[in-house]
Structure 1
Amino acid sequence: MKIVICSDAWHPQVNGVVTTLSRTRDALRAMGHEVTVIGPDRFRSVALPGYAEIRLALLPYRRLRRLLDALQADHIHIATEGPLGWAARRYCLQRGLPFNTSYHTQFPEYVHARYPFVPLAVGYALMRRFHRPAQRTLVATEHMERLLQERGFTHLARWGRGVDIALFRPQARQPAELPTDLPRPLWVYAGRLAVEKNLPAFLELSLPGSKLVIGDGPARRDLQARFAEAHFVGYRFGEELAGFLSAGDVFVFPSRTDTFGLVMLEAMACGLPVAAFPVTGPLDVVRHGETGCLHEDLQQACLGAQNLSAEACRRQAEAMSWEACTQQFLAACRPTPDARE
């Protein structure tokens, strides 16, 4: 099958959407499918205000139309609701082509967090309009599916997430950049440093030991100034990221808005239990009392998670493969009998 994925989130961005699409592309190719990802790197673009690492394609429709006409895909998947997503949606509707979408990010909540004067209802109305013509809208978890159903979304299908257990694994050697006498336990966060990630909820906690923050983003300067006692090491990738995760004792995930939280799986693969709020994402990833602790009091979640089994965390991660998730994606590519205009 010839598959085209259109996404406003693509390399060199660093986030869970890019990781998911990259792994899915690689798994599809390994299965013998021809896959092309069309991202902002193919277009003139501008930086998202306040978030320089995210580039938005400028007026992409005409170039995108030429690319899609030339590719003649068997299936088009629209991964994001940005300029490229809307342009791909327009292309499919004008040509009467069926397509799927996916819901990776709770944009209404993200926009509301940055601009509280924008009501959630307005954001969700726009998201419903975007996804309504799709044959299927793919979501990562049961809780996300239920939330969207309550918001009036239809034609939802499941597309889970996986983890590379060969890369993310427990390691005995501590990264050289971490002081050898760092007080324990070591509480770790990894991901974007942005307002929607709710980092102060973690960094303000009075916890024994030390805090490690892996990642970067528009909030880093402010967070580093406010929480000078925490160790900020910037983005890390591949083996280096796995090494930093393995150095920790508990992974703390303070976000209330993520649809999944892929990094939680990567941390568990490295043997770290997770402390998080009982919200969409953690509720589907973490087995409370076994591979993590979920509590509305994040301090209690952290203290409850620190004595959980690293082996149990690793076992759960080992059951989550990218191949199985990609089979779900592929199954959703089949045309539906009720394909709409």
Structure 2
Amino acid sequence: MKSLLIVSDAWHPQINGVVRSIERTQGEMERLGVRVEILSPADFRTVPCPTYPEIRLTLATPAVLRREIAARDCGHLHIATEGPLGLLAARAARQSGRIFTTSYHTRFPEYLSARMPVPLDWSYSWLRRFHNAGHGCMVATGTLERALGRRGFVNLMRWSRGVDHDLFRPFESSVLPADLPGPVFMYVGRVAVEKNIEAFLDLDLPGSKVVVGDGPQLGALRAAYPDVLFTGARVGEDLARHYASADVVVFPSLTDTFGNVLLEALACGVPVAAYPVMGPVDIVADTGAGVLHADLGLAARAALQIPRARCREVALGYTWERSTRQFIDNCMAANRLAAAAVRAA
């Protein structure tokens, strides 16, 4: 594969796992000699998403998308998200007979039901139509693959993730206030209702709680939990140093499909505590680098006993090079699948 176009509703200035995954895949593919183009809301007129204004929704038409896709002249099309831009790109691809793959990053049905009473079956129905219309849907874990398969999704392909071991690494000194009582339990990620952060903040734990991240729920949580340290969003080495300053990273989400945060914490030598659900089950499981339990407080306290060297060792097994080669193999397999379908017809 010599060239690739990635269409994504999630892009800068958003800071999330989807954006980071696309960025790192783009960098690795370019290092391997593949030309990568990104089509994002930055290329169109947009409006803010209701209740989540930092997310921009694209205003365009299928005809415009067809022209934009053709202008980039790439050998393969990958649609990373199911937002307005992704939906338009899929429609444009179908109309022009273009082969494309998709990826399932976010459990939108669960996120939507957390905000309003929308039945899960309704949401999964339109997501299934969207992803099954492509020639392959990439998923990060075996747990997600099995869950989507039970709901009728087809042509599922495994695409795991990596972590930057040079950036996310142990640091000797803490960036947190010197008078912050230990041990330090930390949440890292978007501050939004679907992340279930209050399950962490309500825990009876020794020491201190720290929340690193930004999002629509930040103001409300700051007001409701004055004893918690909220640092706001952190990036780059500053983010890595915050991870490394924690004793345990607590991951309270029940709806993530993977959890890049888990790998970043482990790479910094920090054990994780989480519920035994999709993402943590696939990454932590029986590795000895974290504790999974239905009682999140029990998991957090038990994780204090885990050697930091073991966490780093587990994270070293995940690389962006391996992830990217898996992505490329999936794209090539999708093209073979499409060609076989044409021959069969």
Q: The TM-score by the shorter chain falls in which range?
A: over 0.9
Aligned AA (1:112): S
Q: Does structure 1 residue 114 correspond to structure 2 residue 136? A: no
Contact 2:110–2:255 (8 Å) recurs in 1? yes
Contact 1:268–1:274 (8 Å) recurs in 2? yes
Q: Does structure 1 residue 3 correspond to structure 2 residue 4? A: yes
1:43 corresponds in structure 2 to: 44
Aligned AA (1:123): S
Deviation at 1:60, TM superposition (A): 4.4
Deviation at 1:337, TM superposition (A): 3.3
Contact 1:202–1:254 (8 Å) recurs in 2? yes
Return the alpha-carbon distance in structure 2 between the equivalents of residues 64 and 102 of structure 1.
Answer: 19
1:77 corresponds in structure 2 to: 78
Deviations 1:145-174 (A, max 9, x none): 011011111100000000000000000121
> What root-mean-square deviation, in Å, do the aligned CA atoms of Structure 1 and Structure 2 show?
1.1
2:157 partner SS: strand
Cα pair distance change 1:289/1:303, threshold 3 Å: farther
Contact 1:3–1:33 (8 Å) recurs in 2? yes
Kindly, what percent of the aligned residue pairs are identical? 49
Q: Does structure 1 residue 291 correspond to structure 2 residue 289? A: yes
Corresponding pairs, count = 338
Aligned AA (2:135): Q
1:259 partner SS: coil
Cα pair distance change 1:255/1:113, threshold 3 Å: same
Deviations 1:237-275 (A, max 9, x none): 000000111000000000000000101100000011110
Return the alpha-carbon distance in structure 2 between the equivalents of residues 328 and 184 of structure 1.
Answer: 41
Q: Does structure 1 residue 134 correspond to structure 2 residue 118? A: no
Return the alpha-carbon distance in structure 2 between the equivalents of residues 288 and 45 of structure 1.
Answer: 44
2:337 partner SS: coil
Return the alpha-carbon distance in structure 2 between the equivalents of residues 163 and 181 of structure 1.
Answer: 31
Contact 2:213–2:233 (8 Å) recurs in 1? yes
Deviation at 1:12, TM superposition (A): 1.1
Q: Does structure 1 residue 169 correspond to structure 2 residue 143? A: no
1:320 partner SS: coil
Q: Does structure 1 residue 265 correspond to structure 2 residue 263? A: yes
Contact 1:289–1:305 (8 Å) recurs in 2? no
1:232 partner SS: strand
Instruction: Give runs of ≥4 in structure 1 deviating > 4 Å.
Output: 338-341
Deviation at 1:59, TM superposition (A): 2.4
Q: Which runs of 5+ in 1 are unaligned?
A: none
1:248 corresponds in structure 2 to: 246
1:92 corresponds in structure 2 to: 93
Contact 2:259–2:279 (8 Å) recurs in 1? yes
Return the alpha-carbon distance in structure 1 between the equivalents of residues 223 and 150 of structure 2.
Answer: 40
* Equivalent residue runs for 1:216-231 within 5 Å: 216-231=214-229
Aligned AA (1:150): R
Deviations 1:169-226 (A, max 9, x none): 0001211xx2212111100111000000000000000100001100010001111111
Contact 1:78–1:88 (8 Å) recurs in 2? yes
- TM-score normalised to structure 2 length: 0.96
Aligned AA (1:125): S
Contact 1:289–1:308 (8 Å) recurs in 2? no
